[in-house]
């Protein structure tokens, strides 16, 4: 198969530091090409992914109307030059507008809440040539209400990059690893850690301006370097692997409908239990009492912390291996491509 994949224009593929979906696109390119397929990529000009063909977006910003027009042209031109059997977009659906009426099979993957209006319009224009995927059942459920054909394909991690840790020390810390903003629940993680008298290591980036900045300076920073609450900044892949592997549990008590959250798959790959909340995709990722605990209060959080050492870390690793590993997810996309191309050829 000749597969043309697109990623948003802001970050290169693979990303230099953070950038969850850009990592997944890179894994998909590598995995598909190892299976004998030719993969073209349309992405940020600084991308270094080992694709068979590369096309750089002309527009640099997803939210710019002018850049959207530029990127419509970029993708249309890439399709003409690469002549793909299928186009798979992890970027803005508007970039596909010039090719939506084309009979070429197209896949639009959503990593965030889809817009009803956009999904409905695209489905009407493209008809059966367009299929949607969501990174969780919760995303697909939202999308189906607007129309179109939807399939859940989870996000993934490269298991080989995460060291399974079957045991941790008795005084192992809790770890919060995510963007430091209210919806990720760092303040709740701090409250739970303090009440449980547990060390908490916070890793991730924060914003200094606006409401997010106010949140950092008023609700997070005052607690740092006190009561065993430590902030270590952003971490690279190697540091992340070590941090997650040595944790008693990863605690990210979300306050929003999380579409997926790659950090949860990364934690499971290390054998580390998850403490979060029953919102969005977390009810799909975490089996209560097997992979971690889903909580609704600080009291429940403390109970989860006290029980985390009872979680079988082998079960956590197996969960990642069977449901969130790169090999599993690449195979699911490959099967979807094959099905859609076969259906298109039969028309």
Q: What is the predicted pLDDT for the residue at 163?
A: 97
Residues 131, 342: Cα–Cα separation, whole Å:
14
Question: Which residue did the predictor score with more confidence, 226 or 303?
Answer: 303
φ, ψ (nearest 5 deg) of residue 203: -130, 140
Of 188, 178, 255, 247, the C-alpha closest to 220 is 188
The pLDDT tens digits of the residues spanning 69-94 come to 999 999 999 999 999 999 999 999 99
Q: pLDDT tier at 347 (50, 70, 90 boundaries)?
A: low
- Chain-centroid distance, C-alpha 260: 6
Of 165, 166, 141, 155, the C-alpha closest to 109 is 155
The pLDDT tens digits of the residues spanning 238-293 come to 999 999 999 999 999 999 999 999 999 999 999 999 999 999 999 999 999 999 99
Of 4, 135, 183, 162, the C-alpha closest to 77 is 4
The pLDDT tens digits of the residues spanning 94-145 come to 999 999 999 999 999 999 999 999 999 999 999 999 999 999 999 999 999 9
φ, ψ (nearest 5 deg) of residue 314: -65, -40
Q: pLDDT tier at 68 (50, 70, 90 boundaries)?
A: very high
Q: Please say if the pLDDT value at position 204 is more than 90.
A: yes
The secondary structure of 218-273 as a DSSP string is IIIGGGTTBTTEEEEE---HHHHHHHHHT-SEEE----S--S--HHHHHHHHTT--
Q: What is the predicted pLDDT for the residue at 269?
A: 97
Q: pTM of whole model > 0.75?
A: yes
Q: Please say if the pLDDT value at position 19 is more than 80.
A: no
Domains of the chain listed by start with CATH number: 2-156+325-346 (3.40.50.2000), 159-323 (3.40.50.2000)
Contact between residue 270 and residue 165 where contact means Cβ atoms under 8 Å apart: yes
Across the chain, what does the average pLDDT equal? 95
Of 274, 267, 333, 203, the C-alpha closest to 341 is 333
Residues 234, 228: Cα–Cα separation, whole Å:
19
Q: Please say if the pLDDT value at position 16 is more than 90.
A: no
Mean pLDDT in residue range 209-232:
95
Rg (CA), the chain: 21
Q: What is the predicted pLDDT for the residue at 281?
A: 96
Of 346, 343, 340, the C-alpha closest to 107 is 340
Q: Which residue has the tokens 């109307």?
A: 65
Residues 171, 169: Cα–Cα separation, whole Å:
5
The pLDDT tens digits of the residues spanning 4-14 come to 999 999 999 99
Bridge partners of 275, per DSSP, are 251, 293
Of 178, 145, 344, 142, the C-alpha closest to 274 is 178
Contact between residue 138 and residue 280 where contact means Cβ atoms under 8 Å apart: yes
- For 76, residues 6+ apart whose C-beta sits below 8 A from its C-beta are 98, 99
């Amino acid at each position: 198969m000749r597969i043309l994949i697109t990623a948003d224009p802001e970050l290169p593929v693979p990303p230099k530091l953070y950038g969850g979906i850009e990592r997944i696109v890179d894994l998909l390119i590598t995995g598909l090409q190892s299976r004998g397929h030719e993969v073209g990529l349309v992405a940020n000009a600084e991308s270094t992914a080992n694709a068979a063909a590369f096309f750089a977006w002309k527009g640099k910003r997803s939210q710019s109307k002018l850049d959207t027009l530029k990127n419509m042209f970029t993708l249309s031109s890439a399709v003409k030059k690469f002549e793909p059997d299928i186009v798979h977009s992890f970027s803005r659906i508007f970039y596909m507008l010039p090719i939506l009426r084309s009979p070429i099979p197209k896949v639009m993957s959503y990593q965030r809440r889809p817009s009803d209006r956009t999904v409905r319009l695209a489905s009407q224009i493209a008809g059966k040539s367009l299929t949607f995927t969501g990174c969780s059942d919760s995303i697909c459920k939202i999308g189906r209400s607007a129309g179109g054909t939807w399939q859940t394909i989870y996000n993934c991690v490269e298991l080989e990059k995460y060291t399974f840790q079957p045991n941790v020390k008795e005084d192992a810390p809790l770890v919060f690893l995510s963007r430091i903003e209210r919806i990720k629940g760092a303040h709740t993680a701090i409250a739970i850690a303090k009440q449980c008298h547990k060390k908490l290591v916070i890793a991730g980036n924060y914003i200094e301006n606006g409401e997010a900045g106010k949140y950092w300076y008023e609700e997070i920073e005052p607690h740092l370097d006190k009561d065993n609450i430590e902030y270590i900044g952003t971490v690279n892949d190697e540091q992340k692997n070590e941090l997650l592997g040595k944790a008693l549990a990863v605690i990210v008590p979300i306050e929003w409908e999380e579409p997926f959250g790659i950090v949860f798959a990364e934690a499971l790959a290390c054998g580390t239990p998850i403490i979060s909340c029953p919102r969005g995709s977390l009810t799909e990722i975490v089996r209560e009492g097997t992979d971690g605990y889903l909580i609704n209060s600080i009291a429940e959080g403390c109970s989860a912390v006290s029980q985390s050492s009872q979680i079988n870390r082998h079960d956590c690793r197996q969960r990642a291996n069977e449901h969130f590993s790169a090999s599993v997810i690449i195979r699911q996309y490959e099967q979807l491509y094959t099905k859609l191309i076969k259906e298109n050829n039969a028309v």
